[in-house]
Chains A and B, each alone.
Chain A
Amino acid sequence: TQLLEQSPQFLSIQEGENLTVYCNSSSVFSSLQWYRQEPGEGPVLLVTVVTGGEVKKLKRLTFQFGDARKDSSLHITAAQPGDTGLYLCAGRGDTNAGKSTFGDGTTLTVKP
């Protein structure tokens, strides 16, 4: 079983601060996705990264896939209260019939 560890588990910051969330594994993934989940709803895709070393930007969010495709990070610049939510990373291996393995999530609270 491929495992994904996310850190930190909880993060509470003030509006305007920067933060980074990490997603690490000992396994290689063919692709990795980041999702955001709000209370009472299902996770919603933010981004997919597939190439080692890849960096993708989505407004104030920057996603990076490690060179070895074993880890990823999500950096948020100038966080806003609307960024509050549960952030989940999910990796897919090459030979697991398309199954995704999820990390335990990072709960982010941005206080105004």
Chain B
Amino acid sequence: NAGVTQTPKFQVLKTGQSMTLQCAQDMNHEYMSWYRQDPGMGLRLIHYSVGAGITDQGEVPNGYNVSRSTTEDFPLRLLSAAPSQTSVYFCASRRSSGAPLHFGNGTRLTVT
């Protein structure tokens, strides 16, 4: 059981470039979410999905897009990267609304 898999592990972008952070889970979890983690600021929710075809915004959605075409995959897109998006990004999934989150190992993104 792989759990939650994130790729790539590291990425460096120049300002204005676009990219997609991949997230896949093999636990058949309905709920998936993206967080960013910055020093001293804990984990902040970017976008989340309660099932295939359904997405919604979290605390800090600006500059990010998501889609959920399948239960397994929940990619995060940066359309025009900015230095303020330098962070560590975590994807997480959960079986139901009250269940604990299962996290991937993160993608460390640097925007220069």
Contact = CB atoms under 8 A, between A and B. Distances in A.
Contacts, number: 60
B58 interface: yes
B94 A98 contact: yes
26 contacts: A1-B59, A6-B42, A31-B98, A33-B101, A41-B105, A41-B106, A42-B90, A42-B104, A42-B106, A43-B101, A45-B101, A88-B42, A88-B43, A90-B101, A92-B97, A92-B98, A97-B50, A97-B56, A97-B97, A98-B31, A98-B94, A99-B45, A100-B45, A102-B44, A103-B42, A104-B42
A48 interface: yes
- For the side of the interface on B, what is the size category? 20 to 34
Interface of A: 1, 6, 9, 30-31, 33, 35, 40-45, 48, 88, 90, 92, 97-105
A3 B68 CA distance: 28
B105 A40 contact: yes
B100 A104 contact: no
Given A99-B58, A104-B41, A45 B100 contact: yes
A98 B105 contact: no
B40 interface: yes
Contacts of A100: 45, 101
